[in-house]
Amino acid sequence: MTSLLPAGVARDAHPPRFPGAEPGEPSLETWQDAPHNRWAFAHVAELVPTAPIPRSAAPLPGRDRAGLDALLDELPDLAARLEASYTDALVVVRDGRVVADHYREGIGPETPHLLMSVSKSICGLTVGTLVDDGRLELARRVDEYVPALAGSAYGDATLQQVLDMTVDVDYDEDYRNPASHVQAQDRVAGWRPRLADDPADTYAFLATLRGGGRHGERFKYCSAGTDVLAWVVESATGLRYPDAVSQRLWSRLGCEHDASITVDPGGFGFANGGISCTARDLARVGELMLGEGVIGGETVVSAEWVRRTRDGGDPDAASGTVFQRVHPGGAYSNQWWITGSARGDYYAVGIHGQFIWVDPSTGIVVAKFSSWPEPVTEQWNRVHAELFRDLCDAAGR
């Protein structure tokens, strides 16, 4: 019988997911690791179940491509710096207009990309809209909103303490350690292969966390806290977290595309790191902050919330951290990083190099997707702080 296959192609051949990928790669065990993450961060839905975060039916007008030409006179080495920092996408916005953008091969303006912990800042804004409406109170304890967390590390913490990550919780955030809490939470969320004794879902996992009860004293970065906030959001709204983010935030930003979020076996949206969206839509989150809570003429979150985020946090609580070695006097506030610099810039960040950078001094917002080989290092954060300030200065002239 005559074969219908192209000449030289075996009947059992399996095309690779990306050029050079080995058969079966990336897998659930390897997709977060280099070099697989260069493909996987833009194809998360092929690896982990996801739920949509719908945009509005009437988005703001689309934005033209700009390239890098407008910045190259000031930054002639910009293309090399973007390549060296594993850039997947870059969007620079001023006054609602894209003044520069860049996409590596295989990524484009309509390609969604995983945000990692930039997702936390989206959760903080969602909480802010509920505080504005009087549906949440920052001084109230978590277990007043989620009784199932009574007795956990988070039960007697206030919402403000959770937002600022000053909860006393036993939680190891070592991304490379298979025995760490963060890897256990990944397994529960469906990001890694499960172990037999893992909790059934994120709800059950959060209830197992314990701590010393000395809240409000020290900054302790803990991804689980954002998922506690998402549970509080669900309790306050009666909506699943993806639907609450859509209703309260995403559908009001004028985004061009739906976002998405990974979901665990219990249907819980992975609030601390599971959102994917396009770089252009992500920039709108920064524009909302720069606009004191207003975008496209609509107030989405109050100016008071934005100011409290930008001016809040306790630098003393974060003293001695790697963050303050890069940003002396910096603080963490409402799930955003505040640099403490004279420029007043602040940002959202996720491991492997996901960023929203907001610079009020120049009126510039930068969104950047990356696929660093390492989850996070002090040097990568220094490189990017310098890159973003150079971009803002060049684009703001």
Tens-digit pLDDT profile for residues 153-184: 999 999 999 999 999 999 999 999 999 999 99
Q: What is the pLDDT of residues 44-65, one digit of tens each?
A: 999 999 999 999 887 877 788 8
Question: Could you identify the residue written with the tokens 């982990």?
Answer: 48
pLDDT of residue 180: 97
The residue type at 126: T
pLDDT of residue 1: 55
Query: For the residues 76-81, what does the mean pLDDT come to?
Result: 97
pTM: 0.95
Residue 392 has pLDDT above 90, yes or no: yes
Check if the beta carbon of residue 16 is closer than 8 Å to that of residue 39: no
Return the structure tokens found at 224.
């689980």
Q: How far apart are CA 229 and CA 315, in angstroms?
A: 22
Query: For the residues 331-352, what does the mean pLDDT come to?
Result: 97
Residue 12 has pLDDT above 70, yes or no: no
Q: How far apart are CA 103 and CA 271, in angstroms?
A: 26
pLDDT category at 4 given cuts 50, 70, 90 is low
Q: How far apart are CA 230 and CA 226, in angstroms?
A: 6
* Distance of alpha carbon 313 from the chain centroid: 19
The residues assigned a catalytic role are 117
pLDDT above 70 covers what percent of the chain? 97
Residue 13 has pLDDT above 70, yes or no: no
Q: Give the CA distances from residue 10 to residues 3, 4, 331, 338, 384, in Å, rounded to whole numbers and listed in that order.
A: 10, 11, 58, 56, 46
Q: What is the pLDDT of residues 183-202, one digit of tens each?
A: 999 999 999 999 999 999 99
pLDDT category at 19 given cuts 50, 70, 90 is confident
pLDDT of residue 8: 60
